[in-house]
Amino acid sequence: MTTIGFIGLGVMGAPMAANLVTAGFDVVGYNRSEPKRAALVEAGGRAAGSVADAVRGADVVVTMLPDSPDVEAVVLGEDGVLEHAAPGTLLVDASTIRPDVSRVVAERARERGVRPLDAPVSGGEAGAVEGVLSIMVGGEAADFDAAQPVLRAVGSTIVHVGPDGAGQTVKAANQLIVAGNIELLSEALVFLSAHGVDLKAAVDVLGGGLAGSTVLQRKAPGMLDRTFAPGFRVDLHHKDLGIVLDAARAAGVAVPLGASVADLMASLRAQGGGSLDHSALLLQVERLSGLAADELGDSADA
């Protein structure tokens, strides 16, 4: 039985680890929060008391962490993954981080004989629970092939997109598109509401035309109900748009609409909305339109 050390059992990591257990893998999970570790045990996995405990003896190590500094600390840091991973171990980083950091992690991993893949995912909490994530993978083709059984247990669209860091670059583009879609959906809902249109009926018909999208399908119901419990937090999308802007600047390309949405996301976060779902961009559009919006705290509790 393949043993997987899974580090990071949050909103995305917990259901991914559970799906790996269901697929028949021996999953040893670590999270700083004990209740998260206990939940994995209830799902049939094993709990580790540290990163080192999760990595020792693992054939594959999966990391699902919030940001670049977290990956650097957990993978490259003292008593981290690379100090304890055996040569030949597959290291699958499913976090969303900066492409340049991903390339550094890959270089350091290979120096230790570890086989790195950057494999960020898209599909949100629902996709993680259902095991239908889209996974964009950077790294060596042979390592991508070797990781297929693990990746297929958590995703349905799995594509090798290029060398080290390419997966993170594609994920940045994904986050740019998603943020733009949510912002335009928010504007459309405010526009329709101002004209007295039945919003549910409008969303139904828009979903069947060229305006239809996964964003509309998955985010519109919560926006109509004005519930913004996080499937993907504003804090994280704010971070991801920062990655987009930095990478665009480094490449010398313009992302004018992306920059505008990044400003709106940052504003929402600065006003206390960081813990809300990113669909709460609707609240910002309402404020810009001079409409009374729910208080952020009320929306978070809804």
Query: What pLDDT is stored for residue 231 in this prediction?
Result: 85
What percentage of the chain carries pLDDT values higher than 90? 93
Query: What pLDDT is stored for residue 295 in this prediction?
Result: 46
Annotated catalytic residues are 171
Residue 88 tokens read as: 């030949």
- Say whether 170-301 and 3-164 share the same fold: no
pLDDT tens digits along 232-287 = 999 999 999 999 999 999 999 999 999 999 999 999 999 999 999 999 999 999 99
Which residues are paired to 122 by β-bridges?
134
Q: How confident is residue 93, by pLDDT bands cut at 50, 70 and 90?
A: very high
Query: What pLDDT is stored for residue 124 in this prediction?
Result: 87
Query: Cα 29 to chain center, whole Å?
Result: 18
| Placement of tokens 């669209």 in the chain | 157
Domain map (residue ranges) of the chain = 3-164, 170-301
CATH no. of 170-301: 1.10.1040.10
Q: What is the mean pLDDT of residues 203-231?
A: 95
Query: Tell me, which fold does domain 3-164 have in CATH?
Result: Rossmann fold (3.40.50)
Report whether pLDDT(301) > 50.
no
> What is the Cα gyration radius of the chain?
20
How far apart are alpha carbons 250 and 147 in whole angstroms?
Answer: 31
Mean pLDDT in the chain?
95
Query: What pLDDT is stored for residue 294 in this prediction?
Result: 53
